[in-house]
Amino acid sequence: MLKRIKNWILDLARVMRRELTLSLTDIGVLLFFVFLPLCYPIVYTLIYNPEIATNIPVAVVDDCRSTQSRELVRMTDATQSMNVIGYASNMGEAREWLKSKDCYAIMHIPEDYSRNLGRGQQAHVEFYSDMSLLLRYRAMLLSLTNIQLETGAEIRTESLSPLGIVGESMSGSPVDNVSFMLGDTEQGFASFIIPGIIILILQQSMLLGITMMGGTSRDRKRLHGGRDPLSIDTSASASVLGRMLAYVFIYLPLTIYVLHFVPTFFSLPHIGSPLQYFPFVLPMLVATAFMGISLQILVKEREMSFPVVVFTSIVFLFLSGLTWPRYAMSWIWKGIGDLIPAVWGMEGFIRINSNNATLYDNSHCYWMLWALVAFYFMTAVWTTRNMRNR
Amino acid sequence: MLKGLGDTVKREIARLGSRRVYLWGILLVPLLVAFFLVDLMSTGLPTKVPTAIVDLDNSPMSRNLTMSLGSSELINLTDHVGSYHEAMQLVKSGKIYGFFMIPHDFEEQALAGRTPTLTYYSNMTYFVPGTLAFKGFKTMAVLSSGAIVETSMSSKGISDNKAETLLQPVVIDTHPLGNPWTNYSIYLSNSFIPGALELMIFIMTCFAVCEELKRGTSPQWLATARGSLTKALIGKLLPQTVIFTILGWFLDMVLFKYLHFPCGHLGNMILAMPMFVIACQSFAVIICSILPNLRLALSISCLTGILAFSIAGFSFPVENMYGSIGIFSYILPVRWYFLIYIDQALNGIDIYFSRYYYIAFIIFLLAAVAIAPRLRKRCLNPVYVP
């Protein structure tokens, strides 16, 4: 009995060593295991690093041409998000500018703008926005709301003080309100999306590499009459565990780089403690390794890993709830998402990294990850047995 | 003349039918991704964000505020907690995306004119729910202060009518053109489905071309095309062009006809689809010509195909990217398709404004024609490098 255990452990070590040599000598696998986690986070952050949409060109049609209307235009121009490119003589001209993408929005100040203000009536301004990108619209909308509140407060104070109603507050309102943004305090796009993306990169690169190794092994099998000369004959469990250890071993330094150094390089939100997020991601790496071994059954040749695995990145990105929150998903998509290690990994890591949550706060995600480890271990053993018997 | 071409097409159709990966990559994946995206976001806007309220005042006024907050269409008050700390704990464990805090003695101070402060916290680590929570909170905070001003003003003898205008003297009415509902599906499905289509066209084109090199069947392929590489390539890719185009049109119909997403000029979108498919195939042929190796060509096409979702500016504007990065968005066919979609479908403007985008598709084809002859030598002497 003891001898069998000893042999099993020895086999496991042999599998691990063989797998390490195989992956570290295969340039195609190295591209996934090393190049992808090293470069992709940098490339992605560089794309999104400007963080916010600024100086969006806006055209103004001012039919009022008064001090007040010019004041409004100046305020618009002074916002971070908008940049007034010029006055169009009428809506027709402004629309032409919009069509040729010289501007993305039109502000139309009607003739009666200042008259209404003077009479103490509500003055309306029309703002037409292009909707091709929600980020642009959102940035402009936020600034416009502020302008509206600011102008409103000024006018209110002006017209109320002669009536003897003063001292309500600086903003001319009896109740102040203060908004706090948590996590991504600057509301930057990179700060929002990169903490999630880097977890997905870890999972997807690992899946691609492992499935490619599986396909290569099958190519060898085909060449050598049904047996891969480089595989080690041992029990399925030792084989699965040995390979998992090899992959996780390769990924440990990369995980430190991706999760700690990448956010630091670009000063993205990074307030979580490494003692919280490294233990948290560990089961994700293990579950991903087992998941990759299970997926090998679908990859019948080396290059087949591309058509089988690559597109899932888009699906997993959406399942993670980064763009469309998970609470608004139907049970079926939520259920499928539950089976993906990176979905839990992203949820927990984002909260630890950006909200300074602890492992304890995320115990649900953490235990789900260990449940996935168990689940994918079983599927990995099953597929390994199944592939051998063929 | 046409004989070689016809034979190559026949040979290719037999190949497409012989391997399941073609059925998977050409038909199933694009359909699955499209169905997934459309079904996932079928409600348009993920409203009812889980949020909490921290009511430290417990006065009629604060309870009133809580009630109006609970009836907001944007948020869903899932928890009533007693302290900031408890609410923060809920945020950290992901149960809520924001919370609204009413301070001690809120009613008393508000009525006495001592300006109490309402605070609200939105978790921006998840953009959409964070933004929706913020919007719901802000509206409520502004409205509630408005209600108090109105009461205090009418008590000072200002007419209700006048008080209302004084509350909001300037109103900026925003008109979101083309997507007044700020529907997320209109915005995301229309960019991510073509993106997925592009990715699969890249992969399947590289797979079909370079597989011949891997298996050493490329001399036979060239021979079927009577030794002409042009015929060989056209014959090989034409069946895929047809299938992808029909698939693309089908997806257009789903988006614009079945789901009634805004589409000004359907005809121009129909025209853009085959051009887009051919441009993507040309892009893949260029990759294959530079790197005539199955694994390398697939690696590069996947790397660019996946990066396209970010760099083509579907969510973050290209003008705001660093210049040296943003320029790469224009080497991707899907960027041009996206621009055509904005002009022709979403905004429905004259095709004149999109003329360059259509021309860009043709340039991809011309570039492929210029570079493809490099493949010929490799086809005659196929070497498999793993």
- B108-147 pLDDT per residue, tens: 988 887 888 999 999 999 989 999 999 999 988 888 877 7
**Which pair of tokens denotes residue B105?**
């003695």
**Which pair of tokens denotes residue A266?**
């670009």
> Which of A114, A147, A156 lies closest to B150 in space, CA to CA?
A156
| Interface touch A306/B299, C-beta < 8 Å | yes
Residue B163 has pLDDT above 80, yes or no: no
**Closest chain B residue by Cα to residue A55:** B320
Confidence of residue A229 (pLDDT cuts 50, 70, 90): confident
Look at B166 and B382; give whichever has higher pLDDT: B382
Confidence of residue B169 (pLDDT cuts 50, 70, 90): confident
**Displacement of CA A359 from its chain's centroid (Å):** 20
Residue A70 has pLDDT above 70, yes or no: yes
Please report residues of A whose CB lies closer than 8 A to that of B97.
325
What CATH number does the domain located at A56-163 have? 3.40.1710.10
Distances (CA, A) of B53 to A250, A328, B117: 46, 21, 15
Q: Pseudo-torsion of CA B63, B66, B67, B68, nearest 10°?
A: 120
Q: Does B177 touch chain A (CB under 8 A)?
A: yes
Please report how many Cα atoms fall inside a 13 Å half-sphere around the Cα of residue A116, on the Cβ side. Answer: 18
Which candidate from B123, B144, B310 shows the least CB-CB separation from A355?
Answer: B123
CA end-to-end span of chain A, whole Å?
30
Highest mean pLDDT among A214-228, B56-70, B239-253: B239-253
pLDDT of residue A277: 94
What is the set of domains in chain B, with CATH numbers? 3-42+181-380 (no CATH), 49-167 (3.40.1710.10)
Q: Does A92 touch chain B (CB under 8 A)?
A: no
| Interface touch A179/B200, C-beta < 8 Å | no
CA distance B83 to B67: 18
**Closest chain A residue by Cα to residue B126:** A322
Please report residues of A whose CB lies closer than 8 A to that of B349.
99
Q: Does A52 touch chain B (CB under 8 A)?
A: yes
Quick one: average pLDDT of B74-95? 94
pLDDT of residue B165: 77
Q: Does B167 touch chain A (CB under 8 A)?
A: yes
Tens of pLDDT, residue by residue over A73-124, are 999 999 999 999 999 999 999 999 999 999 999 999 999 999 998 888 899 9
Which candidate from B122, B200, B386 shows the least CB-CB separation from A311?
Answer: B200
Tens of pLDDT, residue by residue over B282-316, are 999 999 999 999 999 999 999 999 999 999 999 99
Confidence of residue A169 (pLDDT cuts 50, 70, 90): very low
pLDDT of residue A390: 63
CA distance B41 to B188: 9
**Which pair of tokens denotes residue A241?**
């565990």
CA distance B243 to B236: 13
pLDDT of residue A163: 66
Tens of pLDDT, residue by residue over B215-229, are 999 999 999 999 899
Rounded to the nearest angstrom, the minimum Cα separation between A181 and chain B is 5
Which candidate from A127, A144, A184 shows the least CB-CB separation from B124?
Answer: A184
Residue A173 has pLDDT above 80, yes or no: no
Domain spans of chain A? 2-49+188-389, 56-163
Tens of pLDDT, residue by residue over A185-204, are 888 999 999 999 999 999 99
Rounded to the nearest angstrom, the minimum Cα separation between B119 and chain A is 5
CA distance B77 to B32: 35
Best of A314, A315, A362, A363 to disrupt the B interface (most B CBs within 10 Å) is: A314
Q: Which of residues 248-267 of A touch B (CB under 8 A)?
A: none
Tens of pLDDT, residue by residue over B10-29, are 999 999 999 899 999 999 99
Please report residues of B whose CB lies closer than 8 A to that of A178.
117-120
Return mean pLDDT, chain A. 92
Percentage of chain B lying above the pLDDT 90 cut? 77
Work out the widest C-alpha separation in chain A, in whole angstroms.
Answer: 98
Residue B98 sits at φ, ψ, to 5 deg, of 170, 165
Q: Which residues of A9-47 are buried (b: 16+ CB within 10 A; e: fewer)?
A: eebbebbbebbbebbeebebbebbbbebbeebbeebbbb
Residues 6+ apart with CB under 8 A from B146: A173, B167, B168
Best of A324, A349, A351 to disrupt the B interface (most B CBs within 10 Å) is: A324
Please report how many Cα atoms fall inside a 13 Å half-sphere around the Cα of residue B20, on the Cβ side. Answer: 6
Which candidate from B91, B117, B325 shows the least CB-CB separation from A177?
Answer: B117
Residues 6+ apart with CB under 8 A from A322: A193, A196, A346, B126
Q: Does A328 touch chain B (CB under 8 A)?
A: yes
> Which of B300, B303, B279 lies closest to B289 in space, CA to CA?
B300
Residue B54 has pLDDT above 80, yes or no: yes
**Which pair of tokens denotes residue B4?**
């070689």
DSSP one-letter string for B135-187: HHHHHHHHHHHHHHHHHHHHHTT--HHHHHHHH-SEEEEEEEES-TT--HHHH
**Displacement of CA B209 from its chain's centroid (Å):** 29
Quick one: average pLDDT of B191-200? 97
Q: Does B356 touch chain A (CB under 8 A)?
A: no
Q: Does B126 touch chain A (CB under 8 A)?
A: yes
pLDDT of residue A170: 45
Confidence of residue A166 (pLDDT cuts 50, 70, 90): low
**Closest chain A residue by Cα to residue B158:** A163
Angle at B147 between CA B145 and CA B153, to 5 degrees: 100
Alpha helices, DSSP H, located in A224-311: 236-256, 262-265, 274-295, 305-309
Please report residues of A whose CB lies closer than 8 A to that of B130.
181-184
> Which of B64, B54, B56, B142 lies closest to B103 in space, CA to CA?
B56
- Rounded to two decimals, the ipTM of the complex is 0.94
Quick one: average pLDDT of B58-72? 90
DSSP assignment, residue A49? T
pLDDT of residue A226: 80
Please report how many Cα atoms fall inside a 13 Å half-sphere around the Cα of residue A385, on the Cβ side. Answer: 8
Confidence of residue B77 (pLDDT cuts 50, 70, 90): very high
pLDDT of residue A228: 85
Distances (CA, A) of B372 to B213, B234, B295, B366: 15, 11, 18, 10
Residues 6+ apart with CB under 8 A from B176: A129, A131, A137, B182
